[in-house]
Structure 1
Amino acid sequence: MKVRDSFSLNPVGNTSKYTDFINYIDTSSVNAGLLSEVSFLEDEFPSRAQRLVRPGDILYSSVRPNLRHYYLYNDSYEHAVASTGFVLLRNNSSYNTRFAFYYLSTNEVVKYLSNIAELSQSTFPSFSSKDIGKIDLPDIDRKAQDQIVSILSAYDNLIEVNNKRIKVLEQMAENLYKEWFVRFRFPGHEKADFENGIPKGWAYRRADEVIDFNPTLKTGNQTEFTIIPMEALSTNSMVLDSGCFVRQDSISGRRSQNGDTLLAKITPCLENGKTGFVMGMPENEVLGGSTEFVVMRSKALTPHYVYCIARSYYFRQTAILSMNGADGRQRVDEDKLKSTKILQPEKTVLDHFETIVTPIFDGVYQMVQENKNLIQQRDLLLPRLMSGKLEV
């Protein structure tokens, strides 16, 4: 049985009835079965927003399948629409949809589609809906499919719980930053004296006085390097997607280390919120990365405070308004960014903030590692269950 025998491929859907808003899913919004962002859009919609999405639909990016931008949609967003960069698969049979999704995410299938994509004549390596439709699905009875799904779903459920906990922790750090340094409700604020609208002893500094932008880092005897590409940065999380990292024997692009913040400087990545925090790398290891982000390192603040600044509305708007260049390829004016006024709190308050948020960031990293282990275990089981080498 082939995929096309059990699934409708890109079923026709009319999105013209959605004139007020859509919840848009782009190919960059999903990764290896996880949904990181849904964009709420009003009035003007991307021309690629054409795939009407229903619960149970499989979204599989047809461009660069090796990046694993696929997702099984079981959410309940109103007016959900996906990019035409996806092949949308909708079940029209008794075949277990999640089982099919797991099979299509195996290394064997990803490699098969990647080979087709590399031979394509399109601008970017891609495959067609016909290509994925020709794939043979495992000839396994429905009861066995359900049992395999039950085993693999247990891992996915744990991963999802961790992802929710990560979001809660990140929200806690953001709320604390706003409470202390935007609303000025820090411990002891009731007794604090204010001058020119800020607590006495605090000051506004040029950003480059308290933050080292794109620091120069020597690699010493280091012979292998981790390179962080733009796609590793999230639009709504501090977590960098290590699955996108590249290892090579020479360094290129921006240099960073643990504790540095990475801020996208090119449109639309900056507007979309791409920002990350480097953590969990070997001590003193120098990393390379895209030249399209700005590296921000604490000079007279703290690493976590700098990350919170980069995520703040004021700083992001300043960066966005400084952008110049040709339409579609605008970049941040880094000189204007460096001259932005940054609030430098009194040291004891800043140190107190650091003692609270450090465990939060550490907790995020710990759950990221747990998810890596769960994904590794699940992916080891996946081909063995699919092939029947491991009985259920």
Structure 2
Amino acid sequence: MMEIIEKKISDLVEKRIETFNKNSVSQFRYVDISSIDNIKKEIVDSREILSNAAPSRAKYILKENDVIVSNVRPNLNAVAVVNQFHNSSIGSSGFTVLRPIEEVASEYLFLNLISPNFLNYVESLVQGAMYPAINDTDVKRFKIKLPKSKSDQQRIATEIKSKLEKVEQMRQAALKQKEAVEALQGALLREVFPYKEGDELPKGWKWEKLDDVAKINKLRKKKTAATPKELTSFVPMECVDDITGKITKIFFRPNDELGQSYTYFENGDIIFAKITPCMQNGKCAIVSEMKDGFGYGSSEYIVFTPSKPIYTKWVHYFLRTIELRKNAEDHFTGSAGQQRVPVDYLQSYKIPVPTDETVIKKLTDTLDKKHEEYFKLITQTTTQLEAIEALPAAILREVFDFNANRN
């Protein structure tokens, strides 16, 4: 029978980790917090740096089998074991570096540090903090239970890693399936909008400027609330779903807090994200259910007001085509990270429009039905992926005793 002991991490690791002297080498491989993939729990993106350009946070000399734990935003659980390739790399001061003593298996320690128990522990330490962070002492105070025999630790770690590897294979397969389903939307829209500007259109269709079909940022008298403090509908960018193309939630704010800093729109308008990466992701929605028929939202929306109600869904679907978004991206202006689609580019952009409104109605009705099926598939694949992503925590919870840190 295995003998189980309970120890603080501080009793299971070496007391001192060597620090880096940039004058000792001409260049080095640097591992910072962004180097860790917090899903795979691996170092994936280290880089070579000249010593004279060493960042101020370059601090620890890492060794193979060290376990590194990010002290910044610990709820993201950026934890990894240093592999052979990163032996003698330099780690950021944002890590707690744990070097197991001879009697402790590195992988066993690592698995405890990606367990739900450790995550719950660090989340309790940073709850309510504006800038969530922990320190070395916090990490080393955590208690784990482990077999006294290192061989038993290694055996258990091997069994758990085998299960986790199978789960990762399942996750990758589910991700590919979800990506394939997401690609269906582009195909659905391409069935209706297969044309490039200048192509010959079917009989009874014509090319129109977007601005003539749906006025962009239309100048109009704004509706107002009865009193300055009356609650008014408000739609921030995160409330526009880039998969469904719908507004998922409406907030309410006092009317006098809105105005020039935000974008005004009315029911029946279409809001379109103009800034990267929201535009490329497809954040675009038809406005509906606004209190008193109007609302405000992000200053990064462009507002389209269809000239006829029949054009509303037609323009919305067109704006969600991959081709339009790619062309808009090619015409971005502004600096990296803050690039936007110029309004004048969209105003002159051409949209194919059937002159017979019954054709528009028939095509948009067909797209509505096909999109309902598409949304069901998206929901199914998303649910499947979420279930798979929950498996690692369940596996770890099944193996480890999680009562050690309750007192």
> TM-score if structure 2 supplies the norm length?
0.51
Give the number of equivalent residue pairs.
333
Does residue 69 of the first structure (1) align with residue 76 of the second (2)?
yes
Q: Residues 208 and 338 of structure 1 are in contact (CA less than 8 Å); yes or no, is this contact kept in structure 2?
A: no
Q: Partners in 1 of 2:387 and 2:181 — Cα distance? A: 20
1:315 counterpart (310, 328, 337): 328
Question: Partner of 2:377 in structure 1?
Answer: 363
Shift of 1:334: 6.3
Determine if the alignment matches structure 1 residue 171 to structure 2 residue 183. yes
Report the alpha carbon displacement of residue 314 of structure 1 after superposing the two structures with TM: 0.5
1:100 correspondence with 2:113: yes
Q: CA deviation at 1:199?
A: 1.8
Residue 249 and residue 334 in structure 1: after superposition, are their counterparts in 2 closer, same or farther (change >3 A)?
A: same
Highest CA radius of gyration, 1 or 2? 2
Q: 1:113, 1:132 within 8 Å by CA — same for their partners in 2?
A: no
2:201 to 199, 202, 222: 199
Residue 312 of structure 1 and its aligned partner are, at CA, apart by: 2.5
**How do 1:196-235 and structure 2 match up within 5 A?**
196-200=198-202, 201-206=205-210, 209-210=213-214
Q: What are the equivalent positions in structure 2 for 1:301-380 lying under 5 Å apart?
A: 301=314, 303-309=316-322, 312-318=325-331, 320-321=332-333, 323=334, 330=338, 332=340, 335-336=343-344, 338-344=346-352, 346=354, 347=360, 356=370, 358-372=372-386
Task: State the shift of 1:157 in Å.
Answer: 5.6
- Please, which of 374, 387, 392 is the counterpart of residue 402 of structure 2? 387
Contact 2:282/2:325 (<8 A) preserved:
no
How far, CA to CA, are the matches of 2:252 and 2:13 in structure 1? 46
The answer (yes or no) to whether the contact 1:206–1:338 under 8 Å persists in 2 is yes
Match of 1:134 among 140, 161, 165: 140
Provide the rounded CA distance (Å) in 1 between the counterparts of 2:123 and 2:144: 15
What code does the residue aligned with 1:169 have? Answer: V
Query: Could you report, residue by residue, the CA deviation over 1:318-359 in whole angstroms, capped at 9, with x for unpaired residues?
Result: 3x22x4xxx678563764365251423544666666655553
Counterparts of 1:3 and 1:330, CA distance in 2: 44
1:8-87 equivalences under 5 Å are 26=34, 33=39, 60=70, 62-63=72-73, 65=74, 68-71=75-78, 87=95
Q: Distance in 1 between matches of 2:99 and 2:72?
A: 18
How many Å separate the matches in 2 of 1:218 and 1:166? 43
TM superposition shift of 1:300: 4.4
Between 1:165-174 and 1:292-301, the stretch displaced more is: 292-301
TM-score (norm 1): 0.53
- Partners of 2:272 and 2:303 within 8 A in 1: yes
1:362 Cα deviation (Å)? Answer: 3.3
Work out whether residues 310 and 316 of structure 1, in 8 Å CA contact, stay in contact via their aligned partners in 2. Answer: no
Paired residues of 1:10 and 1:87 also in contact (CA < 8 A) = no
Q: CA RMSD in A?
A: 6.5
Identical-pair percentage: 9
